[in-house]
Structure formats: structure tokens, C-alpha cells
Amino acid sequence: MTDITNFHLHHFVAEGNIICGLKADDAESAVAELVERICHNNAGLDPSFVTTEVNARELISPTVIAPGLAVPHARLPQLERLLVALGISEQGIDFKCPGMPPVHVIVLILTPKDDPGLHLQVLTALATDFSSPEIIKTAAALKDPEEALKFLHSANVVLPEFLTARNVMNKFPLTLQESDTLQKAIEVLATGSYDDIPVIDPEGDVRGIVSLEDILRFSLPDHILWMEDLSSIYRFQPFAEMLRDDEETKIADFMREDIISVNENLPAIQLAKIFLLHKCRQIMVLRGRKLMGVVNLKGFVTKIFWE
């Protein structure tokens, strides 16, 4: 496992792995150009295999993490340390990421397969310190590798010592208001791929959570859950009664208030423990009572084991 305590990104970028003035005019060609360079400078790396691995992840999840900045990456078996290549395109390259402008700075990251958090630590550093429009504009104008390396040094991109909940959370989760109706909750949960939805007030403070199970629980009287003979409700009579009032019933009437939450600075490894101990699907990340984001089980596992 790579020790990155107090390391800056420039510690991992060799001048020979910097290309100012990429020839490529599309994302795949740009990746191939950077892969060819980094493999040429590191014996034992197969350009064809590395390119395939990088492109496979790019197809699943585009790696444009900020306007003008793309961070394609791959986890490679037998790789022993972090490798980074930097590519600069003054004219810009279309990475086909909806809503994003052309990419001018590409940071290719190759990490050991058995170091699951490393590329996320690099992504966190870049997203925090290297993604402002001014920095990207300055980087896009760099003309030679030596100048680019000096720029990386001055940009002070510091890799975090470990990941926190803030680094792995979804910062823009779907939410509902406690004043929203049962009808809206049913529509959102039934038509989207959501299991649990945070419920907030107008100030963004968390008030509770709502799920499909909560809607079922609200529709069925408690005593029915203990009945063996359900013949009296074979035609879903409790559901019919609930649906008659779904436009008047507020989410506050049936949401759960017993949420599972953590502080945004909690070490990310502790999220795994919480998922297993509480058998939950989602953890809210709070600052005080304000919702900062959510970590769901699938997203967490994907980030740690696949992304």
C-alpha cells in the first residue's frame, strides 16, 4: 500500500510523463496517448491492457470531475505504486460528458488493485485543490513539461492521509420536504431507483427518512401484521383507504425519525462497520443537523472495490 502521508501530487508525476500539447482530439485518443507515454517510461506495463482497463471504467462512469478537468484511471494487478501522467490540451477535448465544457487538463491515474482507497484520495485532492476555472485556464496554457511540473508544485495539491465520509458521499442526493404529500413520495419511490430518501425542512435540516417499507407500514394497521388470516383484506382495502387521501397526507405523518447519520469528517472505513452493524442501505452525512450528502451501500461498495 502506497504511503502518501503529507505527499503532494507532484511527488508522483515524473517530468517524462507530462505531455503539453496533446495531439488527440477525442477522449479515447487522449487516453491512449497518455497510456503510451506512461507505459514507455515504466517497464512491464502493457499499453493495450492498460488502455482497455481505463476505457472500461470511462464507459461506466465518465471521469470529468470538474469543468475542464478529466481524471481517467484504472486499478492494475501487480502494480506496486501510484503512477500519474498529465496531459494538457490548449484547444480542449470533448469527453462527451453532458453539461461539461471541453477538457483541457487530463490526469491519468494508475493505482495498485490492492490499494482500494488510493485513487479516491487522488481524486479528492484534485477535486479540492485543482478544479477551479482559474487553475484550469492557467494549466491549459502551459507549454513544456518542466513548466507544468513547477505549476503542479505551486498548485499545492495535497493528497489526504485517509478518506472521510465527505470524500465518498453523494453531495447532491434526492430529498423530499416534510410538507410534500404521500402521493409525491409514492411517485418518486415507485418510478426511481431509490430505497431511502432523506426528508428535510426548508432550511436543509434533516427531519427524517422515508422508504417503500414506510409506505407499506403506514397503509396497514399494526394489528394486521400479526393476523394469520388476511382474507378480509384480499382486495387491498387498507391501501385503497390510504390512496383516497394521498394528496392530503403529508410525509411528516409517516416518515421515520430514527435516521442513521455521521459527521462529514468520519473516517470512511467506519462507514463499512456501520453498514454491517445496522444492516442499513444508506447513511446520512450531516454538519450539525444540515444534510451534506448521503452514502448508500451500493455506491460505497462501488467506489471502494470498482471505481
DSSP state of 36: H
Q: Mean pLDDT, the chain, as a whole number?
A: 91
Three-class SS state of 302: helix
pLDDT at 288 over 80: yes
Please give the helix or strand (H or E) that residue 277 lies within, else none: helix 269-278
C-alpha torsion angle, residues 264, 265, 268, 271 (rounded to 10): -50
Mean pLDDT, residues 54-62: 82
Q: Are 117 and 162 in contact (CB under 8 A)?
A: yes
Is 101 a domain residue? Answer: yes
Residue 93 and residue 233 in one domain: no
Residue 137 and residue 233 in one domain: no
pLDDT at 60 over 80: no
Is 169 a domain residue? Answer: no
Q: Phi/psi zone of residue 175: left (φ > 0), alpha (ψ -120 to 50 degrees), beta? A: beta
Is 171 a domain residue? Answer: no
Residue 25 and residue 93 in one domain: yes
Confidence at residue 1, expressed as pLDDT on a 0 to 100 scale: 56
Residue 21 and residue 139 in one domain: yes
C-alpha cell at 9: 501530487
End-to-end CA distance of the chain: 17
- pTM for the model stands at 0.82
Confidence at residue 125, expressed as pLDDT on a 0 to 100 scale: 87
Would you tell me how many other CB atoms lie within 10 Å of the CB of residue 274? 17
Confidence at residue 298, expressed as pLDDT on a 0 to 100 scale: 92
- Residue 60: which CATH number? 3.40.930.10
Is 48 a domain residue? Answer: yes
- Sheet with 261-263, strands from edge to edge, namely 261-263, 282-287, 290-296
75 lies in which domain range?
Answer: 9-161
Residues 184-200 have pLDDT tens digits of 999 999 998 888 999 99
Residue 248 and residue 157 in one domain: no
C-alpha cell at 75: 486499478
Residue 55 and residue 130 in one domain: yes
Point out the domain boundary residue: 137, 161, 185.
Answer: 161
Residue 202 and residue 137 in one domain: no
Residue 188 and residue 89 in one domain: no
Residue 20 and residue 153 in one domain: yes
Mean pLDDT, residues 45-49: 95
Residue 151 and residue 184 in one domain: no
- Residue 280: which CATH number? 3.10.580.10
Is 148 a domain residue? Answer: yes
Q: Where are the alpha helices (DSSP H) in 77-211?
A: 118-129, 133-140, 145-155, 165-168, 182-191
Q: CA-CA distances (angstroms) from residue 172 to 175, 216, 295?
A: 9, 27, 11
C-alpha torsion angle, residues 228, 233, 234, 235 (rounded to 10): -170
pLDDT at 6 over 80: no
Point out the domain boundary residue: 161, 186, 213.
Answer: 161
Residue 296 and residue 155 in one domain: no
Residues 199-253 have pLDDT tens digits of 999 999 999 999 999 999 998 878 888 889 989 888 898 888 889 999 999 999 9
Three-class SS state of 99: coil
Please give the helix or strand (H or E) that residue 176 lies within, else none: strand 176-177
Point out the domain boundary residue: 132, 161, 190.
Answer: 161
Residue 190 and residue 109 in one domain: no
Q: Are 147 and 15 in contact (CB under 8 A)?
A: no
Is 70 a domain residue? Answer: yes
Distance CA 297, CA 272 (A): 9
Is 279 a domain residue? Answer: yes
Is 68 a domain residue? Answer: yes
Instruction: Give residue 2's pLDDT band: very low, low, confident or very high (50, 70, 90).
Output: low
Domain total for the chain?
2
Residues 101-156 have pLDDT tens digits of 999 999 999 999 999 888 889 888 888 877 788 999 999 999 999 999 999 888 87
